[in-house]
Amino acid sequence: MPAARPLAVAIMGPTASGKTAAALEIARRIPSEIISVDSALVYRGMDVGTAKPNPEELAEAPHHLIDIIDPADAYSAMQFRQDALRLVMEIAARGKLPLLVGGTMLYFKVLRDGLDELPQADPALRARLDEEAARVGMPAMHAKLATLDPASAARLKPNDSQRIQRALEITLLTGQPMSSLLSQKAAEPLPFDLLPLALEPSDRAVLHDRIALRFDLMLGGGALEREVQTLRARGDLHLGLPSMRCVGYRQMWEYLDGAIDAGEMREKGIAATRQLAKRQLTWLRSMPDRIVIDCNRASATEEVLAEVEKALAGRAAV
């Protein structure tokens, strides 16, 4: 008799660790649908620079939460949680295996633990903070946060613009430090079982080589000429938006602004992607129940598939 609670598989890992390849291989063997757990893939018109699955890959299995909003708009972690919970149950009801695939670790955390009740974004206040940041610089905004909310400022790096702005926004909206509003509530139980698989490198230098290669392929694939120039020409996008803060896009935008040359753009883009991978691995290490698979091994994809098949077999035997 099948288990009452459906199973969903989380395929997590840093950028360039082979998550998409593993998910597609599972979908070829087991009827599955893929839910993207990537804060960059939600944006339409941002394909090459986000390493979005190509049309052939998208055709191999149904994909969800890709190309769902315009780059001028925002998509929150709570919106992701609501969408992902609904999609997992709908996919399971169709008799397919839900695969949650991506590298936005905050999304995975919010999915499993829920999110503290914090105020929604205030567009007018956010615009004022963006204008102030452009005028005085992010280190000054970090210093401002340190006076209003020392605990949050100590947790954030001075160049973490998105989180600094959000912490300031919450503090100014509520009159209380964001750190004091964060509750210690228990994790909200999921309505399904989750198999957490993490593709992690045994040798980070190999991952760094993959990141550099991917960035060069992205540039060669038209990310600058076809995508960023087109987005910039719209006139309604700017570097303060979450979409344009995606790694690679910010550096290409700065190059088009004349702030850096082509060599600096490539160097800064690769460095930013490596920093992203470092943060992703730090998030993963905070998930002690994950099953780690070395993404440097040639057999990594087959190992992911074997873990999924083992989990399914164990449930069928119950």
Tokens 């598989």 appear where?
Answer: 9
Give the torsion through C-alpha atoms of 242, 243, 248, 250, to 10 deg: -60
Does the annotation list 20 as a binding residue? yes
Does the annotation list 152 as a binding residue? no
- Sorted by sequence, the CB contacts under 8 Å of residue 205 that are 6+ apart come out as none
Report d(CA 97, CA 8) in Å as an integer: 6
Does the annotation list 19 as a binding residue? yes
Closest C-alpha to 103, from 315, 312, 282, 291: 282
Does the annotation list 301 as a binding residue? no
Report d(CA 7, CA 12) in Å as an integer: 16
Does the annotation list 201 as a binding residue? no
Does the annotation list 76 as a binding residue? no
Whether 223 contacts 48, CB under 8 Å? yes
Q: Is 252 helix (H, G, I), strand (E, B) or coil?
A: helix
Report d(CA 174, CA 151) in Å as an integer: 16
Report d(CA 200, CA 317) in Å as an integer: 30
Does the annotation list 157 as a binding residue? no
Whether 36 contacts 233, CB under 8 Å? no
Whether 77 contacts 107, CB under 8 Å? yes
Does the annotation list 242 as a binding residue? no
Closest C-alpha to 111, from 190, 166, 35: 190
Annotated binding site for substrate: 15-20
Annotated binding-site positions: 13-20
Binding-site residue numbers for ATP are 13-20
